[in-house]
Each structure stands twice: as structure tokens, then as C-alpha cells.
Amino acid sequence: MSVSVFRKLVISSVSALLMSGAAHAFEQGDLIRPIDRDLNFIFVPKLIHPWYEEVRKGIEVAVAEQEKAGIKVNVVWDAPPQADVADHNNRIEANIGKKPDGLGISCLDPGTNTRLVGEAVSAGLNVVTFDTFCDEQFNFIGDVNTEQVGYDVGKALAEKLGGKGDIAVLSGSLTAPNHVERLVGFKKALQEYPDMKIVFERPDNDNLETAVSLTENALQAHPNLAAVFGNNASNPVGAARAVKNAGLSGKVLVVGTNALPETIPFIEDGTIYACASDRQWEMGYWAVKYLVALNQGHTIPHLHVTGTKLLTKESLGK
């Protein structure tokens, strides 16, 4: 049931788009460049991570739809094992040299990624960025209001705690702009409550086991801890595991800004109080659709905002 609930959440906005006609955002008319061969797309996410599995599911559905329409799309998923800027950039650069028909990039470090993505565009490649906003000059699919997401989660936590309590923060990756911006928003919310204080803050680099370990350290160092804020997909789950293992579910609240299938049971049992869920499935689905359209010579939306949904036990119908 939990997985099906998650699935419904990540595809909900796709249905809305289809009903509203946004699926036909491409420039209409005869095909400018008919596709008479296989298309080769390469995707470079930040790292190997369960969060991206929903992105890949969206890709698979879009690829299947294209095949039914007579267009064969081959997809290579080239993910670094960890969130390493040098490795990530090397993969982007290597894949530009392969001259694929489409290149999808999730930016890890915009300071260096922007130059490489710009080189791909200058080389005439069809490029979309997704997940993390890199630069306004590039096509993007994802959430652009990440600071507001962090603020909304912080506000929900503050109201639940009555504006009081010591907070631990797992800050994610220090180079990922969406992690940085969500943390800025979260801290802005807490500034409105003088009796709420961050007493522990560490980067976990989007590693689940690191999140578990850091949460255990925070619980030991701060026995009066009221809540843990997780700033990516891994750390709300990691924090929830540590809190539950310590027998503190419902006593030390966990809130977060991304959701995995494992997040849902933790929300249902009260270990995670609230988590903002991205719509990863939609990112993968539309990335394929738009890259095909670019190969056909169509115009695509420069910015496709997927948004987020705040998940709580109440919003799940529990």
C-alpha cells in the first residue's frame, strides 16, 4: 500500500498536465525533422541513489510510449557512485564527446557544471537539466522554489512544536544548490521562533548510512533534542531509522524535504512528521518527451516546474 501511495503522489501532476493540455506545449505543426533512426539519450544524475529510481521509471514509461509511436529511444544512465564533483564533471564531459541525441543532466555543482552544460549546448547537443536548477540559460524540469520548500517544512515543524525546541540539521551536500536553498528557507522559518535553536548541523552528502550515524550522534549529544531536519532524500529516512531504533518515534520528530518509498511507512507510524515530496517520475517522463521533441525540431518549454507536495499522516489519509 505504501509504495502505491507514493506512486500516486509522484504521477499526480502528470495527469493534471495531460488533462489541461500542457502535454501539447510543443510547437504544433508538421514534423520538421522526421525520426528515421534510433535515438540515443544519456542521463547524468548526481549519484547512484534510490531517489532517482522514480526518475528512471518515468523515463521507462516515456520510452515505451515513443516506441509505440515508432521512435526507438536507447537510454544510458551514467550515475557516479557518490556525490563527487570531479567524477560528476568528468562524466558530463565524457558524454558530451559521445555526441548523443539527447543529454539530461542533474547539476551537482553549478559553479563548474554551468560551463560544461554550456559546452554541450554550444556543440549542438539537445540538453535538458532536471532535479537541480543549474542556470537560467538551460532547459530545466524540476522545482525552482526550493527555498520556499525549506521554509514550509520549517514552519510546519515550528507549529507542531509550539515554537520551542532544539533542532538537529542534516544539511545534505554543501555544493548542491537545492540543498543549500532549502536549508536557507528552513532557517528563515525558525528565525520567526526565538525559542527554537539549531544545536547540531552536519553535511551527510546524501548518504543514508551517514545520516543514520549523524542522527545517532545528535541524539547522544543532545538528550533534549526535539526534532531532526533532513535536507535531501536520504537523510529523512536515515534520521527516522536512528530515531525509531532509539525508541523515540513521536518524541523526536523527523521532518524532511524529499520522499522515497521508505519514507511513507515512517510517516504512517509517526516517526516522520512531515516531508516535502518531489515529483521525480514526472522529471524523467518529460525529459524523454522533450528530448525527442527537440530532435524533431519542435520548441519545448524552457522551464517545466514540477513542484512539491507536503506529506503528513493527514495528507496520506491516515
pTM for the model: 0.74
Residue 7 has pLDDT above 80, yes or no: no
Domains 2-143+279-309 and 146-277 share a fold: yes
φ and ψ at 157, to 5 degrees? Answer: -65, -45
Residue 233 has pLDDT above 90, yes or no: no
User: What distances in angstroms separate CA 18 from CA 54, 166, 190, one per listed residue?
Assistant: 19, 44, 38
Mean pLDDT of 40-60: 95
Residue 16 has pLDDT above 80, yes or no: no
Mean pLDDT of 121-136: 95
Query: What average pLDDT is seen over the chain?
Result: 89
Residue 41 has pLDDT above 50, yes or no: yes
Cell of 217: 550522534
DSSP 3-state assignment of 227?
strand
- Whether domain 2-143+279-309 has CATH 3.40.50.2300: the reply is yes
- For strand 309-311 and strand 39-44, is the pairing parallel, antiparallel, or unpaired? unpaired
Mean pLDDT of 255-274: 92
Q: How far apart are CA 13 and CA 3, in angstroms?
A: 17
Q: How far apart are CA 29 and CA 78, in angstroms?
A: 34
Of the candidates 309, 315, 318, the residue with the CA atom closest to the CA atom of residue 149: 309
Residues in Cβ contact with 64 at an 8 Å cutoff, skipping those fewer than 6 apart? none
Residue 291 confidence class, pLDDT cut points 50, 70, 90: very high
Q: How far apart are CA 281 and CA 271, in angstroms?
A: 25
User: What distances in angstroms separate CA 293 from CA 23, 101, 314, one per listed residue?
Assistant: 12, 11, 40
Residues in Cβ contact with 220 at an 8 Å cutoff, skipping those fewer than 6 apart? none
Q: Which residue has the higher pLDDT, 18 or 151?
A: 151
Residue 33 has pLDDT above 90, yes or no: no
User: For residue 236, what pLDDT is reported?
Assistant: 95
Inter-residue contact 293 to 132 (CB < 8 Å): no
Q: Which of 22-26, 38-42, 192-196 has the lowest mean pLDDT?
A: 22-26
Task: For the chain, give every domain's residue range.
Answer: 2-143+279-309, 146-277
Q: Which of 10-14, 72-76, 88-92 has the lowest mean pLDDT?
A: 10-14
Residue 25 has pLDDT above 60, yes or no: no
Residue 23 has pLDDT above 80, yes or no: no
* 224-236: burial string, b at 16+ Cβ within 10 Å, e else: ebbbbbbbbbbbb
∠ Cα 307 20 288 (to 5°): 60
Taking the domain 146-277, which CATH number applies? 3.40.50.2300
Task: List 167's β-bridge partners, or say none.
Answer: 198, 227
Q: How far apart are CA 119 and CA 54, in angstroms?
A: 28
Measured in whole angstroms, the distance separating CA 95 from the mean position of its chain's CA atoms is: 22
Residue 238 has pLDDT above 90, yes or no: yes
- Side-chain half-sphere CA neighbours of 139 within 13 A: 23
User: For residue 241, what pLDDT is reported?
Assistant: 98
Let me know if 247 is exposed, middle or buried by CB neighbors in 10 A (0-12, 13-18, 19+): exposed
∠ Cα 85 91 97 (to 5°): 140
Q: How far apart are CA 312 and CA 276, in angstroms?
A: 9
The secondary structure of residue 24, as a DSSP letter, is: G
Q: How far apart are CA 223 and CA 199, in angstroms?
A: 11
